[in-house]
Structure 1
Amino acid sequence: MNEDPADQASPPCLAGEVAQDHVDPLGVDDVARWRQAERRRLLEARAEIPVARRGVIEAALIRHLSTLIDRRAGDPAGLVISGFWPIKGEPDLRGWLAELHDKGATVALPVVETRSAPLVFRRWAPGMRMVRGHWNIPVPPPEAPEVVPAITLAPLVGWDAEGYRLGYGGGYFDRTLAAFGQRPFAVGIGLQSARLATIHPQPHDIGLDAIVTEAGLQFEREGPR
């Protein structure tokens, strides 16, 4: 899911989503500055990856992601899964999403309909007419049906071994997860080289259910969320 490239995420209004000991020794302003610097560093490094290497990474990511989805959901027919339209060097999963569509899955893409509000998900099909959405990202047109995903994929700028995600800073993904009555299975998709010792999670940060990189499954949450 592509987030607002602001310097700081959404307000800390989701404290009930995390453990009470979920505290970082850095102050909020220090965390914001650190995240801004790490975000810039990781995006610059990602932009320098050669095209041929990107293809190898994407093929490996798709293999590992397919294994996870097969284990979690089985036959994709009838599955509602949301992906993302790649920007800023993100892995391009559109071919894989098209294959899921051909197998009977309902594929969706996230859309910002209201700034600083949860995302909505519009049904997507290969070859459909796209329109320019927020930040000029192609999205399905307004007449495309809205759906509720059972599995949602989120691109990672950075990630840590506890299942937390460093995104673009707008807080849209956390805000969206918090708004679901029944949360989808949330999978972060990113590079192995983008692993951080910690993202210094704050009360508004919501952990993912799984993280997949070109090196394989790096995190999968156990037990209830």
Structure 2
Amino acid sequence: MSMKSKADLRAAALAARDALSGEQRAAAAEAIATRGLPFALEPGAVVAGYSPIRNEIDPAPLMKKLAAEGARLALPTVTARGQSLVFRAWSPSDRLLLGPLGILEPSPAAAEVVPDVMLVPLAAFDRLGHRIGYGAGHYDISFAHLRKIKTIAGMGLAFAVQEIKAIPAMSHDVPLDYVLTERRVFDFRSS
């Protein structure tokens, strides 16, 4: 029984994600927003989202709901490969700029913040909280760096079809605390 490589697992999970219809995607994002977070946020807590690319589940409905409940929002900006993401304050009315990787980012003038909750895109996840990203390691590096400053809840957002049996975890991979799908909440903190 050969272990599938991360690249194979990533490709299979992304194919499953890409097969979803626009209606299924929108319904899944709304279902996650309707359920909300699995814990109460402190007033003024910073929730970092992401600008969805490549058919990622859209965190915007959840982010808007959390903002209405008093959260402060942030989005990541990419500095350089191998460096932590920098999170900047953002509100839904702010214009976004195209960043170096072709991903929409807040203005460089927006205040830098350290998130309390980091919503994380992913290609695949398993029931131990391991995720497969896209290989650049931005989130693993960011968690390692920012968790020296404060406790940050890492929360993957995914479609249920992106769950896979087991991911070959590397020592530098940082497991997620939660994964939210349209069907359920996975809580990995006790495991």
Is TM > 0.5 for Structure 1 vs Structure 2? yes
Please give the alpha-carbon distance, in whole angstroms, between the structure 1 residues aligned to 2:6 and 2:188: 24
Name stretches of at least 5 consecutive residues in structure 1 with no aligned partner: 1-25
Q: What are the equivalent positions in structure 2 for 1:100-179 lying under 5 Å apart?
A: 100-179=66-145
**Alpha-carbon distance, 1:56 to partner:** 1.8
Please give the alpha-carbon distance, in whole angstroms, between the structure 2 residues aligned to 1:208 and 1:67: 14
Please give the alpha-carbon distance, in whole angstroms, between the structure 1 residues aligned to 2:37 and 2:84: 29
Equivalent AA in structure 1 for residue 136 of structure 2: G
Please give the alpha-carbon distance, in whole angstroms, between the structure 2 residues aligned to 1:154 and 1:144: 21
User: For residue 49 of structure 1, what is the aligned residue in structure 2?
Assistant: 20
Structure 2 counterpart SS, 1:57: helix
Please give the alpha-carbon distance, in whole angstroms, between the structure 1 residues aligned to 2:169 and 2:110: 35
Please give the alpha-carbon distance, in whole angstroms, between the structure 1 residues aligned to 2:82 and 2:100: 11
Q: Which has the larger radius of gyration?
A: 1
**Alpha-carbon distance, 1:132 to partner:** 0.9
Structure 1 counterpart SS, 2:127: coil
User: For residue 183 of structure 1, what is the aligned residue in structure 2?
Assistant: 151
Structure 2 counterpart SS, 1:52: helix
Equivalent AA in structure 2 for residue 94 of structure 1: A
What percent identity do the matched residue pairs reach?
31
Alpha carbons 2:29, 2:62 under 8 Å: kept:
no
Equivalent AA in structure 2 for residue 210 of structure 1: Y
Counterpart check, 1:217 vs 2:185: yes
Is 87-96 or 165-174 further displaced after alignment?
87-96
Alpha carbons 2:30, 2:61 under 8 Å: kept:
no
**Alpha-carbon distance, 1:171 to partner:** 0.7
**Alpha-carbon distance, 1:105 to partner:** 1.8
Equivalent AA in structure 2 for residue 184 of structure 1: I
Deviation string 1:10-29 (CA, Å, 9 cap, x unpaired) is: xxxxxxxxxxxxxxxx8xxx
**Alpha-carbon distance, 1:67 to partner:** 4.2
What is the aligned length? 189
Alpha carbons 1:162, 1:219 under 8 Å: kept:
no
Deviation string 1:167-205 (CA, Å, 9 cap, x unpaired) is: 111111011111121231111111211111111101111
Deviation string 1:92-133 (CA, Å, 9 cap, x unpaired) is: 121331333344321000111122201110011112121111
What is the aligned counterpart of 1:205 among 164, 173, 178?
173
Alpha carbons 1:177, 1:183 under 8 Å: kept:
no
Structure 2 counterpart SS, 1:109: strand
Name stretches of at least 5 consecutive residues in structure 2 with no aligned partner: none
User: For residue 8 of structure 2, what is the aligned residue in structure 1?
Assistant: 37
Shift in alpha-carbon separation, 1:123–1:179, aligned structure 2, 3 A: same
User: For residue 99 of structure 1, what is the aligned residue in structure 2?
Assistant: 65
Equivalent AA in structure 1 for residue 161 of structure 2: S
The structure where helix makes up a greater share of residues is 1
Please give the alpha-carbon distance, in whole angstroms, between the structure 2 residues aligned to 1:194 and 1:98: 24
Counterpart check, 1:82 vs 2:53: no
Structure 2 counterpart SS, 1:73: coil
TM-score in terms of structure 1 length: 0.77
Alpha carbons 1:161, 1:219 under 8 Å: kept:
no
Provide the aligned C-alpha RMSD in A. Answer: 2.0
What is the aligned counterpart of 1:63 among 18, 29, 34?
34
